[in-house]
Structure 1
Amino acid sequence: MTQTAPPHPHTPTVPHLPSAFRTLLAGEAVSAAGSQFTLIAVPFLAATELDASASQLALLSGAQFLPALLVTPIAGKLADLHDRAPLLYLSHLARFALLVAVIVLAELGGLDYWTLFAASMLLGAGTALFDTALLAYVPDTVEPAELTKANGQLAVVYAVAQSAGPAAGGLLVSGLGPVLALGVDALSYAGGGAALRLRRRPARHKAARGAARIRDGFTEVLRNDPLRRLVSAGTLFNLAEQVALSVLFVAVVREADRSVALIGFGFSAAGLGSVAGAWASRRFGGGDGDRSWVWALALSQAALLAALWSFTWVRHGEPLFLATMLVYGLAIAFYNVHSLTRRQKLAPEGMLGRVNAVYRTLAYGSIPVGSALAALLVTVTTAPVAAAVAAPLSLLATAILARGTYTTGNAE
């Protein structure tokens, strides 16, 4: 009798993540690249064509994060109740329409600072909906053991976009103006939305169909010690980080009298660092007892501060500025991948959308507070000193994380 040979015990696994995740990755590759253009174009448009002050520029940098306080809790509930993919592509469509409206107003001469500020807030609302749904959608598309890999691949996509986008955006804005850069971003949202609309339905769909109370997410975070530490640390760090990022344009372009293109190259250097950080996160830091991802948080803040002080410490500070921005990108990407994976694994099933919404509401809601603090500080001191005043909050965030235990079942 012919016998069938048993399967080889070392048969390799399929090297690719599921098609639903690859579709998501393709859409994000397009939209993330365009978004980096807006990162440069909006403050440049406000500073050069709308004559915005240093304080107004600092406020504008945090405008997209203001809606996190209102939209994110609702987005978390929707992400737990419904298919997450429509939430993703509809938010892309809304942001496409908003950017088109800004472009038309700018071309017709009807754009002023407060209209741009309002448009930035509405863009932030779309981003809050998208990001909250995205964090819950990724575990629908991959197995739990693949989460770190999937999050790492998304981080690489964002890092590559941050590497090429800001430098190209800085050059494009300097040469052809900010409106064209906004147009590229609008097209990227259209492309990203189309990719998601045509996706295959994930094989793993965990959306709850019963009641999903918003307050349950807050209750779970307060009850769960590791989640509470992750949310608290993220809130404190984001506040300190936003003070530094809000004054970066002022420090480089106005106080150091350098070209706006250098800002773009700085964010590109951070993007290159993020590629390395995302790659490293797939190999290091995943074990339950590992704390390298915690120390990466403190390193990222130290590097960002050093970038702001580059032109004070060194007469020709451009190389130091770019080097420290690269280290900042590496450290923050490494931290973000592991922090996100731990939140996804520690959240109870059926509550991931609301738990992530709590994180975004508090951690991202602190960003406009950081922008407002930066706007106040730059009226009385220099940009580097303003960032240094808020930096101790990052040390506190690191201390909170270092004392926690994050059991996800990973022994390596």
Structure 2
Amino acid sequence: MTAISAGARPVTAWSPLRVRAFRMLWIGTAAANLGAWMQIVGAQWMLVADMGGEALVALVHTATTLPVLLLAMPAGALADIVNRTRLLVGAQLFIAAVAVSMTVLGAIGELEPGMLLMATFALGAGAALSAPAIGALIPDLVPRAELVEASALGAISVNVARAVGPAIAGLIIAATGATTVFALNAAAALGFATLLVFGRIGPKGVAEDREHFAAALYAGGRYVRHTRVVGRILLRAVLFVVPATAIWALLPLFAGRDLGLGPDGYGLLLGALGVGAILGAVLLPRLPAGPSTNGTVAVASLAYAGTLVAMAVLRRPVPLTVCMVPAGVAWVAILANVNAQIQLFLPGWVRARGLAVYQVFVIGGQAIAAGCWGLVGHHFGLRAAFLAAAGLLVAGVLTAARWPLPDTRGINQNPAVYWPEPHLVMEPEPGGGPVLVTVTYTVRPERQDAFVAAMTPIGQARRRTGASRYRLFREGEVPDRFVEAFLVPSWEEHMRQHYGRLTLDEKAQERRAVALAEGRPVIRHMLPLGLQ
């Protein structure tokens, strides 16, 4: 299924929901998020009554987030080489099976703490398998012009579930017990799977020439490593997430110890963040796009820093609750923009793997930062922690002048088949390799500096699409002759460079370089003989 055109319809915060497939995906994801947060509260509640429960309760968060760090890249590789919808259905059925098991064991009193933590880890593994596939499907469902709004809607579902899920779970647990929320989590997962099956979400099949899992995993890491735009997006995400996590990590302590609030007061502060998240999603379509995105991110970062300063200075619940709203707006405005930028840039063949790396950086950054802010708060006090986080946010804004968020709107990442079909006198083994590819150019002296500069992005493209080694050489005997040589692990990997991995933007870059040379370049393929 390809993305539809936005046409002449005005873009609003809810525009992506006009697309039926995206609407089904969003509803299912929202239900899954709500079920997951209810399950977390149920698991924590069951552990509170056990000996050592205080220590075990903290492990629930670890068991939930650790699978993302361990499985995100394998999940991204799977989502790029198998049918994404079927992968999602399988993951949701797995989550439902685990949740049903928790329900049954909890009902008969056999859900021991260790088993509960293992089941929570399994649920986190199911969520980790789902996340890259969901992110990779969205650009195929909504118009490019609405990706920021789609990302914001995703942030709404997460933040509303985070704010509402624990409150609903608390009421249900008080009335019927923790096992009920486990059953509701199973129902949410089954409902999501049903929507995926009957909602006609995503393509019906997968490419015939699928990569092997190990090769796909390596190719994803290679692509990210040799793509500066992705590196810059990851940098901007981390520079915000690390200091911004201070609010999420320290808010329970701040509400209970500094403000003297109970669970209801903490829920009110958390709810204000959720309201801000919804408000941020509504305001996003009215904010400038493109190069001005850096300005939006800077203003939002400063607003978030202002909330942190208020938490360090103020001690009255009402004004602090009001201050939570702009923090929620800023959280969504920044992460929705950053998430949309990486979705816009990543080509289809590696989109899920790139998003998996992004999720590792964002979620891993939050997990590590939460622990660090806890240590800072313990040793130096919450006020010092909030002020330090605000200072880091301001410093991050200043770095945008040197490392701005790239504008990916004009980059065409659609696949392009523009290399000529190799005509060989022998039939290479698909898995045989490595293969040495040489491309020879003749360039006049007055154009050589420009040619070398034009070849820089070409070398990066060769590396991220398959080359394990790459160099540009100048022939000693004929100074007007330049040779680029790159090593590809196998013949089938090189064929993927020909069909599916090279993009229209890379085609334009190569045409600019070839235009500086005399005649057409000469391409040769060197096959291995097996001699050492």
Identify the TM-score tier after normalising by the shorter chain. 0.7 to 0.9
Distance 1:303 1:171 in 2: 34
Could you list the per-position Cα deviations for residues 44-93 of structure 1 after superposition, in whole angstroms to 9, with x for gaps in the alignment? Answer: 4444556533x655554343221222211111111111211122222222
Q: Which residue of 1 aligns with 2:344?
A: 345
Shift of 1:258: 2.8
Shift of 1:299: 4.2
2:41 aligned with 1:29: no
- Asked whether the equivalents of residues 80 and 207 of structure 1 are also in contact (C-alpha less than 8 Å), the reply is no
- Asked whether the equivalents of residues 239 and 367 of structure 1 are also in contact (C-alpha less than 8 Å), the reply is yes
Q: Which residue of 2 aligns with 1:217?
A: 220
Q: Which residue of 2 aligns with 1:132?
A: 132
Q: Which residue of 2 aligns with 1:335?
A: 334
> Where does structure 2 lack aligned partners over 5 or more consecutive residues?
1-6, 412-532
Residues 120 and 408 of structure 1: is their aligned pair in 2 closer, same or farther, counting only changes over 3 Å? same
TM-score by length of 2: 0.64
- Asked whether the equivalents of residues 166 and 268 of structure 1 are also in contact (C-alpha less than 8 Å), the reply is no
Residues 222 and 404 of structure 1: is their aligned pair in 2 closer, same or farther, counting only changes over 3 Å? farther
Distance 2:119 2:360 in 1: 20
- Asked whether the equivalents of residues 307 and 327 of structure 2 are also in contact (C-alpha less than 8 Å), the reply is yes
Distance 1:298 1:24 in 2: 30
Could you list the per-position Cα deviations for residues 160-214 of structure 1 after superposition, in whole angstroms to 9, with x for gaps in the alignment? Answer: 4455434434444556554433433332222122211222143698868443532
Q: Which residue of 1 aligns with 2:19?
A: 18
- Asked whether the equivalents of residues 58 and 246 of structure 1 are also in contact (C-alpha less than 8 Å), the reply is no
- Comparing 289-298 with 130-139, greater Cα deviation is found at 289-298
- Asked whether the equivalents of residues 59 and 371 of structure 1 are also in contact (C-alpha less than 8 Å), the reply is no
Report matched runs for 1:11-410 at 5 Å.
17-49=18-50, 51-53=52-54, 57-111=57-111, 113-162=113-162, 164-173=164-173, 177-202=177-202, 209-211=209-211, 213-253=216-256, 256-295=259-298, 298-299=301-302, 301-302=304-305, 305=308, 309=312, 313-314=314-315, 317-374=316-373, 376-377=375-376, 380=379, 382-383=381-382, 385-386=384-385, 392-401=391-400, 403-409=403-409
Q: Kindly indicate whether structure 1 or structure 2 has the higher relative contact order, using CA contacts under 8 Å at least 6 residues apart.
A: 1
Shift of 1:380: 4.1
Could you list the per-position Cα deviations for residues 305-329 of structure 1 after superposition, in whole angstroms to 9, with x for gaps in the alignment? Answer: 36865xx832xx3323432332222
Q: Report the residue type matching 2:79 in the other structure.
A: A
Which structure has the larger Rg over C-alpha atoms? 2
Q: Secondary structure at the match of 2:290?
A: coil
- Asked whether the equivalents of residues 173 and 181 of structure 2 are also in contact (C-alpha less than 8 Å), the reply is yes
- Asked whether the equivalents of residues 33 and 158 of structure 2 are also in contact (C-alpha less than 8 Å), the reply is yes
> Where does structure 1 lack aligned partners over 5 or more consecutive residues?
1-9
Distance 1:299 1:47 in 2: 38
Shift of 1:230: 1.8
- Asked whether the equivalents of residues 136 and 352 of structure 2 are also in contact (C-alpha less than 8 Å), the reply is yes
Residues 11 and 189 of structure 1: is their aligned pair in 2 closer, same or farther, counting only changes over 3 Å? closer
- Asked whether the equivalents of residues 31 and 188 of structure 1 are also in contact (C-alpha less than 8 Å), the reply is yes
- Asked whether the equivalents of residues 59 and 368 of structure 1 are also in contact (C-alpha less than 8 Å), the reply is no
- Comparing 337-346 with 213-222, greater Cα deviation is found at 213-222
Could you list the per-position Cα deviations for residues 9-31 of structure 1 after superposition, in whole angstroms to 9, with x for gaps in the alignment? Answer: x9769976433222212212322
Distance 1:251 1:13 in 2: 42
- Comparing 245-254 with 353-362, greater Cα deviation is found at 245-254
Q: Report the residue type matching 1:246 in the other structure.
A: A
- Comparing 110-119 with 273-282, greater Cα deviation is found at 110-119
Distance 2:288 2:40 in 1: 30
- Asked whether the equivalents of residues 72 and 361 of structure 1 are also in contact (C-alpha less than 8 Å), the reply is yes
Distance 1:313 1:11 in 2: 47
Distance 2:330 2:347 in 1: 28
Distance 2:290 2:113 in 1: 48
Shift of 1:253: 3.8
Give the aligned length: 397
- Comparing 233-242 with 72-81, greater Cα deviation is found at 233-242
Q: Report the residue type matching 1:271 in the other structure.
A: G
Q: Secondary structure at the match of 1:406?
A: coil
Shift of 1:115: 4.0
Structure with more of its chain in helix, by fraction: 1
Distance 1:56 1:383 in 2: 24
- Asked whether the equivalents of residues 59 and 372 of structure 1 are also in contact (C-alpha less than 8 Å), the reply is no
- Asked whether the equivalents of residues 149 and 336 of structure 2 are also in contact (C-alpha less than 8 Å), the reply is no
